[in-house]
Amino acid sequence: VKRLSAACVAVGSELLGRTKLDRNSLEITAALAEYGIEVVEKVTVGDHPERLTDAVRRLVRAHDVVVLTGGLGPTADDLTRPAVAAALGVDLVRDAALVETIARRYRSFGREVPGIAPVMADVIPGAEVFANTVGAAPGLAVDHQGCLVVLLPGVPAEMRSMLHGELRQLLNRRFGAARPVGERTLLVGGVPESDIEERVAHLYERFPPGAVSILASAGLVRLVLRAGPEAGDPTSVLDAMSAAFRSVLGDDFVGEDLDGLEHAVIAEARTLGRTVASAESCTGGLVGAMLTAVPGASDIYLGGVISYANEVKRDVLGVPEDLLVTHGAVSEPVARAMANGVRGVLGADWGLGITGVAGPGGGTADKPVGTVCYAVAGADGTTIRKAVFPGDRDAIRRWSAHSALDLLRRRMSGLALP
Amino acid sequence: VKRLSAACVAVGSELLGRTKLDRNSLEITAALAEYGIEVVEKVTVGDHPERLTDAVRRLVRAHDVVVLTGGLGPTADDLTRPAVAAALGVDLVRDAALVETIARRYRSFGREVPGIAPVMADVIPGAEVFANTVGAAPGLAVDHQGCLVVLLPGVPAEMRSMLHGELRQLLNRRFGAARPVGERTLLVGGVPESDIEERVAHLYERFPPGAVSILASAGLVRLVLRAGPEAGDPTSVLDAMSAAFRSVLGDDFVGEDLDGLEHAVIAEARTLGRTVASAESCTGGLVGAMLTAVPGASDIYLGGVISYANEVKRDVLGVPEDLLVTHGAVSEPVARAMANGVRGVLGADWGLGITGVAGPGGGTADKPVGTVCYAVAGADGTTIRKAVFPGDRDAIRRWSAHSALDLLRRRMSGLALP
């Protein structure tokens, strides 16, 4: 099989500032790899017609596939359609039927059709048009001198739906069905990265360089395993690699190829037929937002109480006033009372309580910023943990949410507790 | 002052996979901007000598400054030095003194000097050598036909120390002391991007191309205003630009240089001495998580109830059973009762209620996926809105949170309601 090369082009001046990066190329890279197409170059250019035209002209000559994202909207700084047309040496043609399709999209949102909308119906002659089922701007795909040039929206949800919808269909027709790709991610919970690293270090030597990488983020570790096409059937190679790591990880192993710990918690609770409720102070709703990001979570997650103020802990969750006075809001007894309180008030099988000092203010010598108490209450008792998490407010909140969800996962499944 | 252009080149096959992005360019972009040097293009290439040489040859011709990161180590896949030398048409020369400096670095970590270490002392003739005070590989900076070519390590800590150390000193000598940079972001709430665009379109013409860009994300619009050093004092230029846009935006203008709508809500409530509580169904805690991400939110945000299950709406928030039966959980009367309920239960000045169909399941002909009802309850009455938001589950939830927070902002401040 000849290896095909591709380039990703992210368009938008906002991607050349001090904060925002092109992330669309990650998902595009993963999808193209399933067709044996390797992204070997990524380019980000601003809303600048000549630079964009130059880049496209160059990349179309050099690669088999060029995927652009962004700049397909109707506004003055959306330049991708005309810039690509210029690079290919063709003129855009307005597609009257597409003008009407776009207008219907706006009306389906209950919105007026803006006067500038029809510009999104300007197509490159011969291009296949991808319908936008999320937003308004259609995508385009056109062949030019042996290169497949694809234009996708920059809004991630719109890009994603087109990438996995009509673009995949086109790639299936063109390059055959997608083939399993040799990558698998093991999610590991409740242990610091350096511990994991030490425990799995001896396994690294068994596999080729670059075959294993470790990514850590606020209490969650991801081990990424890769099997190149040269290694034989990727599935069996990855099965063997995964088994080797799982035998070392034991109960710290959460699952394979999961979007997050919350997916494991919802799936496990569903298997067991159990319901969950949360009482959150320092995380302020983050655990609820994570759990309810999982489609279908409503069978499992009944809801929660964000007990940011002490009065809410007392009046809504029934945390006794004397616990708050004697031990303070950030304490193991209060975390326990929150978990039990929300379990009782909402009538859930499992209750989760989190209270802590997320900072930047509020730390004391006794309870510095990062101090978090969390508890999991079930029919057979309550487990409480206290930790001092590192990082800024955001990191401490994510550490708290991950640690509490991991404790819930272990309690639900009867696993070893950290 | 002539505006100088720059390109960033990130080198490394690991930056072309499915997980890892070049982030070094963000910090380099910010530092260069202080010298009036604008990064107008970013490129990521793998550990591939010809592709890297081609990219450098092209970028050196097109820009005043080219900064490469990565590929400076001693291993076989570190190709940046020879690839850049080839692009510039020169031969690398081994610097004997630098060989010794690098050996001392290894010894200072208590490590043996690897046999391959001296390759890091191969320098481009005429280059300034940047000492690596964190790791081992030195950086390089060389002038070539009017372009300053800079080679920095890819490890962020090493890159950073060189960027803010010897590279800044070089830039200070070359381009004068760093100057404040002219960028300001206007946050706009509660209106679709295309509406904003139409209203401000006539202002674009007043300012240079690229001076204004518009970013939209799930119900929030950001207008980014930029003033180059050539425009005079950036602060007064931006003040004038901002005033022009604000006069058009009216009450849709939320604030300048805010991290998000939640910061405006917390600040406004603090000014007015008011407290806030939330009752969330489809957003599942997202509004709470957003508000509590703001440091010091605890004075303002008392907490909330995540009433995902109907029983929680009824038993904790006091939503009457007959409203749930007659109108359904996703309805204007239920949103109203949730907002009023949480206001009463938590004793807050303002209550916020959100209920909707975030999908992917649960939609009906009557209430398709995206249907969301939200309400803001205060002492002087309750405002309710119903909308059908576009996008996937995540987008619908963010639209819901932004729209509800914007309605709260307007109610608190007595602004026009959308």
How much is the pLDDT for B197? 83
Task: Tell me what the mean pLDDT of segment A153-157 comes to.
Answer: 94
Percent of chain B with pLDDT over 90: 76
Do the chains contact at A134 and B392, CB–CB below 8 Å? Answer: yes
Give the integer Cα–Cα distance in Å for A86 and B303. 55
Do the chains contact at B18 and A33, CB–CB below 8 Å? Answer: yes
Of B19, B58, B289, the CB nearest to A285: B289
pLDDT digits (tens, 9 = 90+) for B372-389: 999 999 999 999 999 999
Q: What is the amino acid identity at position B86?
A: A
How much is the pLDDT for B296? 93
B177: confidence class by pLDDT, cuts 50, 70, 90: confident
Task: Tell me what the mean pLDDT of segment B335-358 comes to.
Answer: 98
Q: Provide the β-strand partners of residue A301.
A: A276
Structure tokens at A288: 């609820």
Do the chains contact at B193 and A75, CB–CB below 8 Å? Answer: yes
- Residues with Cβ within 8 Å of residue B313, at least 6 apart in sequence: B279, B281, B307, B319, B324, B329, B334, B337, B338, B341, B355
Of B204, B312, B347, the CB nearest to A311: B347
Calculate the CA A163 to chain-centre distance: 16
CA-based angle B208:B213:B216, to the nearest 5? Answer: 165
pLDDT value at B326 more than 60: yes
A296 lies within 8 A of chain B by CB: yes
B389 vs A contacts (CB less than 8 Å): 109
pLDDT digits (tens, 9 = 90+) for A164-199: 999 999 999 998 877 766 789 999 998 777 778 788
Structure tokens at B42: 């970013």
Do the chains contact at A301 and B308, CB–CB below 8 Å? Answer: yes
Half-sphere exposure of A350 (CA within 13 A, CB side): 25
pLDDT value at A244 more than 60: yes
How much is the pLDDT for B168? 96
Give the integer Cα–Cα distance in Å for B323 and B326. 5
Do the chains contact at A42 and B215, CB–CB below 8 Å? Answer: no
Half-sphere exposure of A409 (CA within 13 A, CB side): 25
What does each C-alpha distance from B226 to B6, B28, B42, B242 come to in angstroms? 17, 18, 19, 10
How much is the pLDDT for B1? 42
B287 lies within 8 A of chain A by CB: yes
How much is the pLDDT for B61? 95
Give the mean pLDDT of chain B.
Answer: 93
Q: What is the 3-state secondary structure (H, E, C) of A162-225?
A: HHHHHHHHHHHHHHCCCCCCCEEEEEEECCCHHHHHHHHHHHHCCCCCCCEEEEEECCEEEEEE
Task: Tell me what the mean pLDDT of segment A199-226 comes to.
Answer: 82
Of B305, B359, B387, the CB nearest to A303: B305
Q: What is the pTM of this model?
A: 0.76
Task: Give B 110-149 residues with CB within 8 A of chain A.
Answer: none
- For testing contact with chain A, the best of B15, B300, B306 (most A CBs within 10 A): B306
Do the chains contact at A397 and B286, CB–CB below 8 Å? Answer: no
Give the integer Cα–Cα distance in Å for A69 and A56. 12
R_g (Cα) of chain A, nearest Å: 26
Task: Tell me what the mean pLDDT of segment A362-370 comes to.
Answer: 94
DSSP secondary structure letter of residue A159: H
Of B19, B21, B306, the CB nearest to A306: B306
Cβ atoms within 10 Å of B238's Cβ, excluding its own: 19
pLDDT digits (tens, 9 = 90+) for B57-104: 999 999 999 999 999 998 888 899 999 999 999 999 999 999 999 999
Q: Are B222 and B186 in contact (CB under 8 A)?
A: yes
Of A23, A302, A360, the CB nearest to B309: A302
Task: Tell me what the mean pLDDT of segment A93-113 comes to.
Answer: 92
pLDDT value at B293 more than 90: yes
**Torsion B21-B24-B25-B30 (CA) sign:** positive
pLDDT digits (tens, 9 = 90+) for A220-241: 988 989 886 556 788 888 999 9
Of A45, A116, A289, the CB nearest to B41: A45
A33 vs B contacts (CB less than 8 Å): 18
Do the chains contact at B306 and A283, CB–CB below 8 Å? Answer: no
Do the chains contact at B26 and A19, CB–CB below 8 Å? Answer: yes
Q: Which residues of A170-192 are buried (b: 16+ CB within 10 A; e: fewer)?
A: ebeeebeeeeebbbbbbbbbbbe
How much is the pLDDT for A299? 92
Q: What is the 3-state secondary structure (H, E, C) of chain B?
A: CCCEEEEEEEECHHHHCCCCCCCHHHHHHHHHHCCCEEEEEEEEECCCHHHHHHHHHHHHHHCCEEEEECCCCCCCCCCHHHHHHHHHCCCCEECHHHHHHHHHHHHHCCCCCCCCHHHHHEECCCCEEECCCCCCCCEEEEEECCEEEEEECCCHHHHHHHHHHHHHHHHHHHHCCCCCCEEEEEEEECCCHHHHHHHHHHHHCCCCCCCEEEEEECCEEEEEEEECHHHCCHHHHHHHHHHHHHHHHHHHEEEECCCCHHHHHHHHHHHHCCCEEEEECCCCCHHHHHHHCCCCHHHCEEEEEECCCHHHHHHCCCCCHHHHHHHCCCCHHHHHHHHHHHHHHHCCCEEEEEEECCCCCCCCCCCCCCEEEEEEEECCEEEEEEEECCCCHHHHHHHHHHHHHHHHHHHHHCCCCC
Q: What is the ipTM of this complex?
A: 0.75
A206: confidence class by pLDDT, cuts 50, 70, 90: confident
How much is the pLDDT for A233? 80
How much is the pLDDT for B231? 64
Q: Which long-range contacts (CB under 8 A, 24 or more apart) does A380-387 make?
A: A382/A336, A382/A339, A382/A340, A383/A407, A383/A411, A383/A417, A384/A332, A384/A335, A384/A336, A385/A418, A386/A332
Give the integer Cα–Cα distance in Å for A396 and B412. 31
Max avg pLDDT among A205-209, A334-338, B194-198: A334-338
**Torsion A73-A79-A84-A89 (CA) sign:** positive
How much is the pLDDT for A209? 65
Nearest CA in chain A to B311: A346
Helix, strand, or coil (residue A254) = strand
Cβ burial, residue A168 (10 Å; 0-12/13-18/19+): middle
Nearest CA in chain B to A39: B16
Percent of chain B with pLDDT over 70: 98
How much is the pLDDT for A1? 42
Of B14, B46, B316, the CB nearest to A40: B46
B229: confidence class by pLDDT, cuts 50, 70, 90: low
Task: Tell me what the mean pLDDT of segment B254-277 comes to.
Answer: 96
What is the least distance, in Å, from the CA of B164 to any CA of chain A? 15
Q: Are A253 and A291 in contact (CB under 8 A)?
A: no
Helix, strand, or coil (residue A29) = helix
How much is the pLDDT for A20? 86
B308 lies within 8 A of chain A by CB: yes
Cβ burial, residue B250 (10 Å; 0-12/13-18/19+): exposed
**Torsion A184-A188-A193-A197 (CA) sign:** negative
A70: confidence class by pLDDT, cuts 50, 70, 90: very high
Task: Give B 21-60 residues with CB within 8 A of chain A.
Answer: 21-23, 25-27, 29-30, 33, 38-46, 48, 51, 55, 58
Give the integer Cα–Cα distance in Å for B254 and A166. 38
Size of chain A, expressed as the number of residues it contains:
418
- For testing contact with chain A, the best of B188, B257, B292, B352 (most A CBs within 10 A): B292
Angle between helices B393-413 and B261-272 (to 10 degrees): 20
pLDDT value at B2 more than 60: no
Give the integer Cα–Cα distance in Å for B368 and A360. 42
Percent of chain A with pLDDT over 70: 98
